[in-house]
Chains A and B, each alone.
Chain A
């Protein structure tokens, strides 16, 4: 479904990721593991068109997408749920969700249905629907960011560190929701530092170090990998 082929991305002269190749198949949950600064966010920003690549190719459903603008990429079915959430802080929860469905704005009925689905998944958002997004707690903002992404009905969702800054109990709920979203048909590419939780829901994973992929394998393999355990699981 998605294929990165030797992708290199630079900030000025500095290569944040080098020769990254990875694939995501339809229906999967694939996780990118790596410490802070390893290059996960850069990978996501490049897939969604916010950053330009310096070398390589990105192919989505047999089409090259790496020269397309971000709005075209959303229209094709890839939605990026950013690490810093990128909500519209002064707009209400409902207005944020409405804009999440921007690419389907001509289809009022679908937007209404999607919104109901999001509220079913995260009932707290329904309670807070008229509150400005900026007033929500960290966990609620993350739910809203995911909800806003779902409104676009993505085929592939890029989820960048959804557990960042959340209390352990909320993290657990968050990963359950992610699994639920995947079961309902959305393919998920997840970036995480919380390897334990991420590997427990993922099919496969890649491990980043300093902008390069150093290990890859099934969740089970990564879980049993000595180095991965040492670096990210701490056992």
Chain B
């Protein structure tokens, strides 16, 4: 949401090119995330995990209110230089949508390689699995936490800026995304990139099939129906691994 507003403001107020605006937005949202980590999540690191989540919801509400104050409650439109329509074998699709797909896949692969193949990625995973353990092998957990938040913020800015031209920009634009991400995590398991991809596909296909055979109007409800069904019958998630705690 913040990422979309920053990209939009750069474009409309300063007349900066879309792509450059996105890059600036990645950086700004990344830095904002790091500040939030220092100010909010770092002091909560010894607290029970539920407090992090409550804090996150608090930040969400705060940022939305802030966006409404600065940019107003209206729906804003973001233009894109990539609105050419391309026809591939009878299918027509805008260039923007192709860019979204390509960027999403590229970012996903890069993220996965980063987490799997680099020491920095491994230290992020290590810290998520055992923070003290990470300290004891010599990982600077403060630095890693900040880098993690920077990456998370930057990725959110990319996602929001890319999808804004095909949706709209408004303070509550993130709600549906967050809820769907929640469904995907429950489907695919927390902290697993392949699981997230699989979960995303399951949700995407279910929505598409629902839109075709039931009604397009009910498309977004499907995520929530899935959520309710899964949490009722398998509250630990579908592909959740057995945890030895």
Q: B43 at the A/B interface (Cβ < 8 Å)?
A: no
Q: Does A80 contact B (CB under 8 A)?
A: yes
B-facing residues in A79-132 (Cβ within 8 Å)? 79-80, 82, 85-91, 95, 98-100, 102-103, 105
Chain B proximity of A230: nearest CB distance (Å)? 35
Binds B, one of A17-25, A55-63, A66-74: A66-74
- Known A-B contacts A86-B130, A88-B130; the reply to A69 vs B123 at CB < 8 A is no
Which chain B residue has the least Cβ–Cβ distance from A81?
Answer: B136
Q: How far is the CA of A80 from the CA of B130 in the complex (A)?
A: 14
Is the beta-carbon distance between A91 and B129 smaller than 8 angstroms?
Answer: yes
Give the interface centre of A48, A49, A90, A148 by most chain B CB atoms within 10 Å: A90
A70-B136, A91-B125, A134-B244 known; A102-B119 Cβ under 8 A: yes
B135 touches A50 (CB 8 A): yes
Report the nearest B residue to A79, measured CB to CB: B136
B126, CB-defined interface residue at 8 Å: yes
Instruction: Tell yes or no: B217 within 8 A of A by CB.
Output: no
Instruction: Say yes or no: A105-B139 contact (C-beta < 8 A), given A50-B132, A89-B130.
Output: no
Q: How far is the CB of A111 from chain B (nearest CB, A)?
A: 10
Q: In the complex, how many angstroms separate the beta carbon of B233 from the nearest chain A beta carbon?
A: 24
Give chain A's interface residue range (CB within 8 Å of chain B). Answer: 20 to 34
Residues of A168-183 at the interface with B, using a CB-CB cut-off of 8 Å, are: none
**A70 to B244, Cβ gap below 8 A?**
no
User: Hey, which chain A residues are within 8 Å of B123, CB to CB?
Assistant: 99, 102
Contact indicator per residue, chain B 117-141, by CB within 8 Å of chain A (1) or not (0):
0010011011001101111111111
Q: Is the C-beta of A207 less than 8 angstroms from some C-beta in chain B?
A: no
A75 touches B138 (CB 8 A): yes
Residues on B with C-beta less than 8 A from A222 are none
Q: Is the CB of A95 within 8 A of B129?
A: no
Residues of chain B with a CB closer than 8 A to A103's CB: 137-138
Q: Please measure, in the bound complex, the distance between the C-alpha atom of A213 and the C-alpha atom of B209, giving whole angstroms.
A: 71
Q: Chain B residues near A105: list those with CB within 8 A.
A: 119
Q: Is A146 part of the contact surface with B, judged by Cβ < 8 Å?
A: no
Chain A, residue nearest B245 (CB): A89
Question: Beyond the given A95-B122, A149-B136, could you list 11 further A-B residue pairs with CB under 8 A, ordered by the A residue number?
Answer: A71-B138, A88-B129, A89-B130, A89-B243, A99-B123, A102-B119, A102-B123, A102-B137, A103-B138, A135-B244, A152-B137
Listed by A's residue number, 18 A-B pairs whose Cβ atoms lie within 8 Å are A50-B132, A70-B141, A71-B138, A74-B137, A82-B132, A86-B133, A86-B136, A88-B125, A89-B129, A89-B130, A89-B244, A90-B241, A98-B122, A99-B123, A99-B137, A99-B139, A102-B137, A151-B137
The interface of chain A, by Cβ under 8 A from chain B, is 48-50, 69-71, 74-75, 79-80, 82, 85-91, 95, 98-100, 102-103, 105, 134-135, 148-149, 151-152
